[in-house]
Amino acid sequence: MLKLGFIGAGTIGSSLALQLSSKGYPVVAVSSRHQTSAGNLAQAICGCSPVNSNQAVADTAELVFITTPDDVIASVASQTKWHRGQRVVHCSGADSTDILEPARKSGACVGVFHPLQTFASVKQAIENTPGSTFALEAEGPLLKILQTIATALGGRLIELKANDKVVYHAAAVIACNYLVTLVKLATDLWQTFGIPINQATEALLPLVRGTIHNIETVGIPECLTGPIARGDSGTIKKHLGALQKAAPDLLTTYRELGLKTIPIALAKGRIDEHQAEELRSILEQSNQ
């Protein structure tokens, strides 16, 4: 098995290093901005040395994971001396292998290994990795190596081209980060009738979980429920009127999301084109 090294002992670096070590991969070196981060990770992995420069990882490992924040990857790649035959990979969802060009120019094989998952801590990352999809970008033998690693982690695979990366990542942000935003908008609305945020979150989460379960089991568009799915235009008018008073700054978002929901309702087949048009005209009116 290839000797692995990690530059960046944060959430992803630590979780990948720990998991791959437990699957039998030799993780031989780790560096980080702060030596204590590298030291803490190396201490948990048998045979792993905390080294005091990124160059030392590049000099020791055959496959190097750059697991720094996205904005630092290019400078790490350009400030490190790579050698022919070495493999260098980053884990960013938005960036392609282009930011590893200095490594490629030195004769290294470059790739991207992006776990399509949200990891708030190392522990949670280790728990949530199995079953997650890994988006891979690499050529020839390195692609095969990354496929094997993702499979060893219990992951599923998709292969992306460099040009697709940014749109792929925008989709991930919509599905993940903006779900957080939607829940926050809903819990904030509950403040208008005096329910504390914690209680509001606790009350709304089963609804969110139920929705996700329905997406998984019933699928889109069939899982869509609610006034737009039923064609209840009177209810939508009431929402717009109430939001106008309680949270006027939310109206644009409510209208935009409502308009994006109409085609889903049409696809489900519970509303006809006439009802869709009525909903559209209500949602498009700027001062309903």
Ligand X SMILES: NC(=O)c1ccc[n+]([C@@H]2O[C@H](COP(=O)([O-])OP(=O)(O)OC[C@H]3O[C@@H](n4cnc5c(N)ncnc54)[C@H](OP(=O)(O)O)[C@@H]3O)[C@@H](O)[C@H]2O)c1
Which residues form the interface with ligand X (CB under 6 A)?
7-13, 31-34, 37, 54, 67-70, 72, 76, 90-93, 114-115, 117-119
- Residue 116 CB, shortest distance to ligand X, in Å, is 7
Q: How far is the CB of 211 from ligand X (least distance, A)?
A: 22
Amino acid at 116: L
Q: How many CB atoms lie within 10 A of CB 245?
A: 8
Six token digits for residue 263 = 């085609």
**4 close to 26: Cβ distance less than 8 angstroms:** yes
The residue among 114 and 239 lying less far from ligand X, judged by its C-beta, is: 114
Tokens of residue 251, six digits = 């109206």
Closer residue to ligand X (CB): 34 or 84:
34
Beta carbon of residue 209, minimum distance to ligand X (angstroms, whole number) = 20
Nearer to ligand X, 34 or 274 (CB): 34
**What is the β-pairing status of strands 133-138 and 87-90?**
unpaired
Three-state secondary structure call for residue 286: coil
Rounded Cα gap, residues 133 and 116, in angstroms: 5
CB of 218 to ligand X, least distance (A): 28
Q: Is the CB of residue 139 less than 8 Å from the CB of residue 108?
A: no
Residue with nearest beta carbon to ligand X: 10
Output 133 or 201, the one with its CB closest to ligand X.
Answer: 133
